[in-house]
Amino acid sequence: MSSLFKKIIKKQKEEKEEKEEKEEKEEKEEIKENLKEKISDKIEVSKPLFFDRPSILKRIWTSEKALNLSKLNQYVFLVDRSANKKMVKEEIERIYGVKVEKVNIVRKKKRPKFWRGLPGKGQVLKKAIVFLKEGYKIEV
């Protein structure tokens, strides 16, 4: 009788272990599914609004003359060397939400310079002077 009793106890233990293993697997699968859902939600939410392409605007140009122009509703931006007037206009309207009247482009060419007594050349800069329509402003 004792051997029969031991066999019954072993079967019960095995059944309990199997049930626990199944429950653990189910819990792990549920956790994986929940994580997948959370990750997919974050991916959908974190889509950038304006950064679908690299911006041609590098930064706003802040010199004394540029700040005086801002009082006349004209703003100066340092732009990429490959930029043209149309691209600058579209980018300003897209980023700042203003209406652009016209754009002027100015290129500063390389000129000879000396640094620590050694000859060299300065960098090429491309600036865009943006004229905004009346009633629009850009916060500098």
For 8-29, give the secondary structure using H, E and C.
HHHHHHHHHHHHHHHHHHHHHH
- Provide the whole-model pTM: 0.58
The CATH H-level (homologous superfamily) assignment of domain 57-132 is RRM (RNA recognition motif) domain (3.30.70.330)
For residue 47, pLDDT over 60 is answered with no
**71-119 residue pLDDT tens:** 999 999 999 999 999 999 999 999 999 999 999 999 998 888 888 888 8
Domain boundaries, the chain: 1-47, 57-132
